[in-house]
Amino acid sequence: MNRVIHPIEVESYRRMRARLDTSHLPPLTRAVVERVVHSAADLDYATDLVMDEDELVRAHTALHAGAPVVVDVEMVAAGITRRETVCRLRDAVARPGLTRSAHAIRLAHEQVGPGALWVIGNAPTALEELLTLDAAPALVIGLPVGFVGAVESKAALRESGLPAVSNVSEKGGSAVASAALNALLYHPTSPSEETS
């Protein structure tokens, strides 16, 4: 993917790397950590994020082979700048025992089937619902934010054994979730594409 990097982003990364050494991290883990830290200007994400490089490699391959990307809210979709996404929140309806966000995840699963990348940055109930489905995801970026259910839903994601990017704290949100996906999207698919 040819992407023109603005000088402000270059300088921002330079300043971030002056304060945070990520050189010891494997390539995709480093890309995700740096882009998430950059998106939030929060160095604590470097120790808060949880991911596995081998899972990221497989997800990177699936993403660049055209796997669908599903998001829980339009704010996450807006942050993913170079890829179409599926968001079914507008079609979803809350009912007793099922939030609108959870229903949207069911609808999206019916639409895309197995092998998608799921990016959840807003609703813990969306992540909880995804864990009840047989989604066989390429990756779940589970970074919902909040004081109710966020920590628990992310812990359940890690315990599920699904390939995932999550974090331990209440922090998260649309910007960091889309940043994690963008890190994989922007990362080169071959050494000749390396730019920095």
Which residues are catalytically annotated?
38
- Helix 53-64 and helix 174-186: axis angle, to 10°? 70
Q: First-to-last CA distance in the chain?
A: 14
Q: How many residues does the chain have?
A: 196
Residue 158 sits at the vertex; the CA angle it makes with 72 and 68, to the nearest 5 degrees, is 40
Instruction: Supply the DSSP string of 70-121, one letter for each residue.
Output: EESSHHHHHH-TTS--B--GGG---BTTB-HHHHHHHHHHHHH-TT-EEEE-
Question: What distance in Å separates the CA atoms of residue 193 and residue 189, rounded to the nearest whole number?
Answer: 7
C-beta of residue 187 within 8 angstroms of C-beta of residue 71: no
